Amino acid sequence: MAAKSKQPVFESWGRYPKVDCRVEPLFWTDEFPRGTRLPPAVLPVGMGRSYGDVCLLEGGTLLSTRGLDRFLNFEPSTGLLRCESGVTLAQILQFAVPQGWFLPVSPGTKHISVGGAIANDIHGKNHHVAGSFGSHVPSFELVRSDGTRMVCSAQKNVEMYSATIGGMGLTGLITWAEVQLRPIASRKIRYEGVKFSGIDEFLSLSSGSNHVEYTMAWIDCISRGRNFARGIYMQGDHSEVIEPKKVSREPRLSVPFDFPGWVLNRTSMRIFNELYYRKQLRRHVTRLVDYEPFFYPLDSILHWNRIYGKRGFLQFQCVIPWRYGRDGILAILQTVADAGLASFLAVLKVMGDCPSPGLMSFPQPGITLALDIAIHPGTTFPLFERLAEMTRELGGRLYPAKDARMTGPQFRSFYPQWRQFAEYRDPAFTSSFWERVTADA
């Protein structure tokens, strides 16, 4: 019955780095800390959908919160939900959508836990109007390794509240949290897709849609020359036509095994990007779509990360402030296109200026670019080094939840507040990411 393969027991979504750690599942909020049996180094982990190593701990114990999946209270009049931290956004949607409520902030996947959403202070297509997830979490309970339990909110334990939002799970275990949902009339989204070529067209589309709740753009990072930086601008609002709101169906597709490394190559990527760009025939389309394909197109295929093969992939997400935004993003896109490594999931979005309560929160006003790149030893890592350095020179920052490669000095210049944050870190809590970026400080 024991696993024969040497696969690590727990992998992050990018499947890199491979780290040796133990997993201890939690089923009840009173199970941590268990007196003297506390292992020396722990890290809470939810669904493991972070791409790099913020959810890994070499040689330590991961406290898996998947068993903390209970709803504790819901006010149907105000939309305030209280639930344990292992509840996933998918479970919230399944519960709340039929009652006419929706997530305040939706990332690109619904298979993440509430605890993870707070710890990484995630953002979504509505960042320019709603801010990050942490702005919609009025309070939560934090348990420290010394057994202290504290309810944190904007009024109580404010410093801990601020350090825990975006705190990468390092300040303690979140046992339950309140999430303020938003009302909807229908499952449908009034979708609008516009093809663009070049960053300037993207920026003018963005400034023209400040009033639209959800905006983002898919961008072709492979084509050069005439087609450089072409893409599809996607935006949408919740439909206001009142409709019955049914429960979503389970996904039917799954990637059953790891693809061999050669499947994703420059040619197949180019073909994919070409097809994706041409999928939308007209320059401008508007239609009503269900929220599932609009927000979570990739969730319809389980284990899609297996297409990158065993070696896994890296995600790069930076935000570049407005001052250098346009030219900075262009320079980064040019570097990526020249390297010829980019894959099909490149996303461009304008971030707004809603401040997050989180001390270490990633979003800042500007333009954010996210892309996946398969790991080819020898070429991928140098490219990432260059991209991180460019981000630093442009005054931007990288997103720890998606990172596996940034260096200590880079991290500390992206997040100069890290020393202040370190004071709130629980001494027993750490992660491979934290060790990597603070070891040489």
Partner 1 sequence: MLKRLRRPGKRDRKREFPSKIIVLGATSAIAQTWMRLLAPEGASFFLVARNAARLESVANDLVTRGAATVYAEAMDLDPTEAHPALLQHAVNLLGGLDCALIAHGVLGDQSAGEKDFSLAAACLQTNFISAASLVTWLANYFAAQYHGTIAVLSSVAGDRGRKSNYIYGSAKAGLNAFLDGVRNRVDRNGVQVLTIRPGFVATPMTAHLPQGPLFASPDAVARDILRAIRSRRDVLYTPWFWRWIMAIIRMVPEWKFKRMDL
Binding stretches for partner 1 (CB under 8 A):
1-3, 25, 27-30, 67, 70-74, 84, 95
Nearer to partner 1, 80 or 339 (CB): 80
Helix (H/G/I), strand (E/B), else coil: 433: helix
The token duo for 59 is: 């040689």
Q: Are 202 and 217 in contact (CB under 8 A)?
A: yes
Q: Could you please report the per-residue DSSP string of 270-336? A: HHHHHHHHHHS-SSEEEEEEEHHHHH-GGGGEETGGGGG-TT-EEEEEEEE-GGGHHHHHHHHHHHH
Instruction: Count CB atoms within 10 A of the CB of residue 17.
Output: 19
Closest C-alpha to 105, from 82, 134, 77? 134
How much of the chain is helix, strand and coil, in % rounded to 5?
Answer: 30, 25, 45
* Residue matched to tokens 């939309």: 79
Nearer to partner 1, 84 or 403 (CB): 84
The CB-of-66 to partner 1 minimum distance in angstroms stands at: 10
The CB-of-122 to partner 1 minimum distance in angstroms stands at: 23
Nearer to partner 1, 29 or 135 (CB): 29
Q: What separation in angstroms does the CA of 424 have from each of 54, 141, 147?
A: 17, 15, 15
What is the rounded distance in angstroms from the CA atom of residue 59 to the CA atom of residue 42?
9
What is the rounded distance in angstroms from the CA atom of residue 393 to the CA atom of residue 387?
10
Q: What separation in angstroms does the CA of 202 have from each of 141, 217, 283, 347?
A: 41, 8, 13, 12
What is the rounded distance in angstroms from the CA atom of residue 13 to the CA atom of residue 52?
7
Nearer to partner 1, 8 or 261 (CB): 8
The token duo for 314 is: 């890296």
Phi/psi of residue 171, each to 5°?
-95, -5
Nearer to partner 1, 2 or 281 (CB): 2
Nearer to partner 1, 12 or 29 (CB): 29
The CB-of-438 to partner 1 minimum distance in angstroms stands at: 32
The CB-of-99 to partner 1 minimum distance in angstroms stands at: 10
What is the rounded distance in angstroms from the CA atom of residue 370 to the CA atom of residue 219?
10
Nearer to partner 1, 72 or 158 (CB): 72
Nearer to partner 1, 28 or 422 (CB): 28
The CB-of-27 to partner 1 minimum distance in angstroms stands at: 5
The CB-of-1 to partner 1 minimum distance in angstroms stands at: 4
The CB-of-238 to partner 1 minimum distance in angstroms stands at: 24
Q: What separation in angstroms does the CA of 88 have from each of 49, 63, 144, 264, 277?
A: 11, 16, 22, 30, 32
The CB-of-151 to partner 1 minimum distance in angstroms stands at: 16
Nearer to partner 1, 176 or 214 (CB): 176
Q: Are 23 and 12 in contact (CB under 8 A)?
A: no
The CB-of-86 to partner 1 minimum distance in angstroms stands at: 12
Nearer to partner 1, 53 or 84 (CB): 84
